[in-house]
Amino acid sequence: MARKFGIRVDEFGLGFPPRAKKLFTWKSTPFTLNWLPFGGFVKIFGENPSENSPRKDLGVPLGLSSGDSFQSKNRSIQAAVLGAGVVGNFIFAWLLISLGFVVGLPAPAGLSLPINDPQTVITIVLPDSPAELIGLKSGDVITRLSRGEASSELTPEAASLFISQSLEPITFEIDRGGQISTKVVIPKEGIVEGRPAVGISMDTIGIVKLSPLQAVGYGLKTTSELTVMTAQAIGIFIWEALGGRADLSSVTGPVGIVGMVGDVRELGFVYLLTFTALISINLAIINLLPFPALDGGRLLFVLVETITRRPIPPRVFNALNTLGFAFLIFLMLLVTIRDVRNIF
């Protein structure tokens, strides 16, 4: 998008810094691979009002007065360029989910789409529950459920009723990424009022497989719905955080996400596709927040400049962005420290 408007691009990064390696250079722009494998970034010349350094690797001294600077463009172009990253993350998620529908995407029963090979799948495992302590995980497929000589039908309703009938141990035979294993779980009181439970939720999950043309349409619909749901969840979280009521233990940083990628990868390629799409949607929404150092904050600056018809002083711009960036780094460090402690 920046190139289309004649703005110089100083770097195109896959993932987020720190940089792992420089891949190649195309049309004077270095393409880099970075260590944090989520989304990407575009470094464009002149985003910072005080930026006035020459492009040393090209030997061309260019300042903000040059036509290829971000600051030299009108505010509608600036807004379009800033919004392009958010749109790019949405499109990336759309493509991944569409590809998932072509390959075969897990989906719950009850949708308007027909599902193949319906199975009873664990969808939620409560923290510190008997199920979690014994090693059951979300995404595990229940292939057999028994207690002594008795066994249960494998519908979520029948399985829940079977579990709640006694405090005696239950044997779960599960399929995790093609690996069959057996877990013995002892139900306990107090998880669900009035009956024994092991701390799981189950659903009937099947495979939705579509033609490429259908996949693009349903992929767009699904991505849009996920984006709205994610935006609502983030909005509620921010509102509760401002009131001191948010559960910050649910926040995960890069280290925690890498660990989650390992867990999701065990479930199969299509689950990894969906997880990556959800990360991309989250990045799009978070980057759109009107906070300094994010694209949403810069869009807010463009809006203020449009309304006041005067540029924000570079000193104010730099101070706000520096404070915003420092806060984000501080927050990331806190979350990363907590993630590392959880690992060990």
- Give the pLDDT band of residue 187 (cuts 50, 70, 90): very high
Residues whose CB falls within 8 Å of the CB of residue 339, separated by 6 or more in sequence, listed in order: 252, 253, 254, 255, 256, 259
Task: Calculate ∠ Cα 214-219-220, nearest 5°.
Answer: 110
Task: Delimit the domains of the chain by residue range.
Answer: 116-208
**323 pLDDT exceeds 50?**
yes
Lowest mean pLDDT among 115-119, 152-156, 219-223, 254-258: 254-258
Residue 287 Cα distances to 49, 188, 196, 326, 343, angstroms: 20, 43, 44, 16, 28
**173 pLDDT exceeds 90?**
yes
- Give the pLDDT band of residue 19 (cuts 50, 70, 90): confident
Helices (H), 16-118: 75-103
**341 pLDDT exceeds 90?**
no
**183 pLDDT exceeds 90?**
yes
How do strand 188-192 and strand 170-176 relate by DSSP bridges? Answer: unpaired
Percent of the chain with pLDDT over 70: 83
Q: Render 190-247 in DSSP notation, one character per residue.
A: EEETTEEE-SEEEEEEEEE---HHHHHHHHHHHHHHHHHHHHHHHHHHHHHHHTT---
CA distance 214 to 100: 12
CA distance 89 to 199: 35
Instruction: Give CATH superfamily name and number for 116-208.
Output: PDZ domain (2.30.42.10)
The residues pairing with 174 across neighbouring beta strands, listed in sequence order, are 142, 181
Q: Is 57 helix (H, G, I), strand (E, B) or coil?
A: coil
Tokens of 221: 């619909």
Average pLDDT for 163-171: 89
Average pLDDT for 268-289: 85
- Give the pLDDT band of residue 255 (cuts 50, 70, 90): low
- Report CA 207 to chain centroid distance, whole Å: 22
**Average per-residue pLDDT in the chain?**
81
Whether residue 252 contacts residue 335, with contact meaning beta carbons closer than 8 Å, is answered with: yes
CA distance 101 to 107: 10
Residue 98 pLDDT: 94
Could you read off the pLDDT of 128-158 as tens digits, one per residue? 899 999 999 988 999 999 988 888 887 888 8
**Does pTM top 0.75 for this prediction?**
no
Average pLDDT for 208-236: 90
Lowest mean pLDDT among 2-6, 144-148, 238-242, 262-266: 262-266
Could you read off the pLDDT of 240-254 as tens digits, one per residue? 777 777 666 666 555
The residues pairing with 41 across neighbouring beta strands, listed in sequence order, are 13
**62 pLDDT exceeds 50?**
no
Residues whose CB falls within 8 Å of the CB of residue 175, separated by 6 or more in sequence, listed in order: 140, 141, 143
The residues pairing with 36 across neighbouring beta strands, listed in sequence order, are 16
